Structure 1
Amino acid sequence: MYYPYFRGKQFELIAIRDTAELMAGAGFTPIIEPVKAQLKGLQRALDAVCTAGGTVIVVVNPEYGDHADDGEKISTLLRDEYLELENVYAGLLLTETTSLGDAVKLYNNHKEHQPVFIHAGFMDAKALAEKIGDKLEKTRHVFFEQNCKKLYRKHFDGAHRVLLRDGFTKRRNADHLSIPIEVFSDLHITYTDEGMDGFGDFLTVGSEFTEGGGPAYAVAIHLTFIDAAKDDEMYIHHFVSDSKDTPTDPAGKFAEALLKLRITYDTGKSGLFLGKALTQFLELQEKEHFPGLGQAKKLSMIHHIETINNFLH
């Protein structure tokens, strides 16, 4: 149903662990593209999902990060620790540099890992569908919407298909000041109209990969909400600090963003779902505590997952 896409940074993996039971109960399947050389954090996330009885897709050939040139350590982890489990699928990432031969080789190398094709710029959909042949209906496919238009996706009719949309517009944090609310996505409502069996997104982070954050000239908290008055379309609040001229005092800037969140929520018109993540944000505001920007990003992602779960269930 819902397939959130994570790039496997520390706080993203912690967010998966913290929501493992919720996602398992809701039938959500996180997709993880590991970007860090150390795989212990990934393994803890996978163990949490498996313990909760959920399912997860792990990209075995990442495009970004420390495994971009060689994903063998990821494949080895899946083979050694998770081969006997039905919870863990191997994600085969097909980009614009992936040849048809590469795609077929990846599939053959991971047949025992319940492979899932992840289409992210691959150029030869028709030939791949023909290679799969009469087994097509038994395969699973995830499509990056920005890379896979309807004609591309049509080659895989009959298979299990999932559409990923990037609803997050990447800007400098300070630039969100002029756009406090904007549309995020309607895919949670319209994915069946697109002929899909599931939908996904890149949460409140976006699909663009960055190795690490730079100095925080402004601090922003991004929280999604579903507007029942607008056909249940999903929007996103950007709560941004007014201080933005120097990279100093991230704690003070976080407090400014949190205060805006508090004021907006207290109006009773924010549309924000009061789950565990939002409750923690409000408690941080009351305590005037700064947990670090990574923790704030984690809570934002968890809030997004809780919001979709609350809507669908």
Structure 2
Amino acid sequence: MYFPYLRGRQYELLALSELVDSKRLGKHVMPVIEPIKLSSTLINTLNSYIQNENEIAIIHNPQVGSFLKDLKDEKKSEISKKYEELLRNQLVIKAHIFNTSSQSELTQLKIKEFNKKDLMVICNNRDFIDLYSEEFSTESPRYSLIPDESVFRRKIKSNRILLDDKFEKQNRNTDYAEIDEPFSDDHLFYQDDEFIGFSDFSIVGDNFLEAGFAPYAVALHVVYFAEDKSLRIKHFVSDSNEDITNPAGKFYEALKKLNNWDMTHKMNTLGLKELLMHFKNETYPGLGTIKKLTIMHHIELIGQYLDEVE
């Protein structure tokens, strides 16, 4: 089972919605959202998963962004009410990140009549392993996302999901030029390592930045299967990178490289198909849509693989 972990930016939510609405998600994929803000796009995404009868996990105590503040904003009371209603749906899996406030936050979930055994929990900080053991001494959560480290494996033994950031972040987009590198083999070996699933931050990475910026270069990050079925990632980077002008032209430069490469690496995913359609039509959808499509490609590709082998 694959649990792509996304931070709930606009383009990430749209990627998840389009995958499930187009029936491209795969039967063995459950997205995990750490929402950074309370938005209509978040509500629509949860609704899409409910309508398509697909499970999706939502973290009730995100550690980044303004989501918790938004929930208390009187101006957003209507959308907040809709969110609370959606949380009651059994297809929306409640998730919790262990932190210094976990005891009170888990108590609040209990008051709201959410059972601990139905939760997904994320424990990726050694300081909270003992608290995890204390909170789940009599029953295990449905899923426990943990790093692949012995200190976690020794104490967290049930329903373990391997959580790891696979994206090798570079300082500048130009630094990705010509790089073709290993991405992940967790889909091959997670069961051998006594995990019931695996999770990553797709082609975005764990590093969170609230605000974007105009890049000097446009980079497309595309994953693909090697001959041994391990996952690799190839980066396609624009050439005219002296300043921030003409992002559409930079996109076309990078996309031309991807189009040439795809001629010998045919992959049937909706995200890649739509990306290459922009090359054919010579259109520029914007940087957010570009990121959305490459995320869609990654998640669908893993879903295809798991549907074949599981």
- TM-score greater than 0.5 by the shorter chain: yes
| Letter matched to residue 207 of structure 2 | E
Taking the TM superposition and a 5 Å limit, the aligned residue runs for 1:1-313 are 1-21=1-21, 22=23, 25-36=26-37, 38-67=38-67, 77-83=82-88, 85-95=89-99, 98=100, 101-102=103-104, 104-105=106-107, 108-109=110-111, 111-112=113-114, 114-121=118-125, 123-136=127-140, 138-143=141-146, 145=147, 149-157=149-157, 159-171=158-170, 172-179=172-179, 181-227=180-226, 229=227, 231-266=228-263, 268=264, 270=265, 273-313=267-307
Aligned in 2, Cα 1:125/1:91: closer, same or farther, shift over 3 Å?
same
Q: How many residues align?
A: 298
Give distance in 2, aligned partners of 1:41 and 1:124: 32
Give distance in 1, aligned partners of 2:126 and 2:107: 15
**1:255-278 CA-partner distances (Å, limit 9, x unpaired):** 000000011112x1x3x5222221
Kindly state the Cα deviation for residue 199 of structure 1 after the two structures are TM-superposed: 0.7
Residue 92 of structure 1: SS of its match in structure 2? Answer: strand
Q: Quick check: 61-70 or 40-49, which moved more? A: 61-70
Kindly state the Cα deviation for residue 82 of structure 1 after the two structures are TM-superposed: 3.5
CA contact (8 A) 1:90 1:110 kept: no
Give the alignment's TM-score, normalised by structure 1.
0.87
Q: Please state which structure has a larger fraction of its residues in strand.
A: 1
Aligned in 2, Cα 1:139/1:310: closer, same or farther, shift over 3 Å?
closer
Aligned in 2, Cα 1:10/1:303: closer, same or farther, shift over 3 Å?
same
| Letter matched to residue 254 of structure 1 | F
Aligned in 2, Cα 1:210/1:202: closer, same or farther, shift over 3 Å?
same
Aligned in 2, Cα 1:276/1:24: closer, same or farther, shift over 3 Å?
closer
Give distance in 2, aligned partners of 1:12 and 1:54: 17
Kindly state the Cα deviation for residue 27 of structure 1 after the two structures are TM-superposed: 2.8
Residue 49 of structure 2: SS of its match in structure 1? Answer: helix
Aligned in 2, Cα 1:25/1:305: closer, same or farther, shift over 3 Å?
closer
CA contact (8 A) 1:222 1:239 kept: yes
How big is the alpha-carbon RMSD for the aligned residues of Structure 1 and Structure 2? 2.3
Residue 123 of structure 1: SS of its match in structure 2? Answer: helix
CA contact (8 A) 1:168 1:204 kept: yes
Give distance in 2, aligned partners of 1:68 and 1:45: 18
Aligned in 2, Cα 1:252/1:66: closer, same or farther, shift over 3 Å?
same
Task: Compare relative contact order (CA 8 Å, sep 6+) and give the higher one, 1 or 2.
Answer: 2
Structure 2 gaps of 5+ residues are: 74-78
Structure 1 gaps of 5+ residues are: none
Residue 213 of structure 1: SS of its match in structure 2? Answer: coil
**1:55-86 CA-partner distances (Å, limit 9, x unpaired):** 11111111111126676689865532341x21
CA contact (8 A) 1:23 1:29 kept: no
**1:170-198 CA-partner distances (Å, limit 9, x unpaired):** 1121100142x111111111111221111
Residue 3 of structure 2: SS of its match in structure 1? Answer: strand
**1:180-232 CA-partner distances (Å, limit 9, x unpaired):** x11111111111122111111111111111112211200011110011x2x21
| Letter matched to residue 135 of structure 2 | K
Aligned in 2, Cα 1:201/1:71: closer, same or farther, shift over 3 Å?
farther
Give distance in 2, aligned partners of 1:51 and 1:303: 22
CA contact (8 A) 1:62 1:71 kept: no
| Letter matched to residue 108 of structure 1 | K
Kindly state the Cα deviation for residue 117 of structure 1 after the two structures are TM-superposed: 1.1
Kindly state the Cα deviation for residue 165 of structure 1 after the two structures are TM-superposed: 1.6
Give the alignment's TM-score, normalised by structure 2.
0.88
Identity of aligned residues (%): 32
Residue 182 of structure 1: SS of its match in structure 2? Answer: strand
Give distance in 2, aligned partners of 1:189 and 1:106: 38
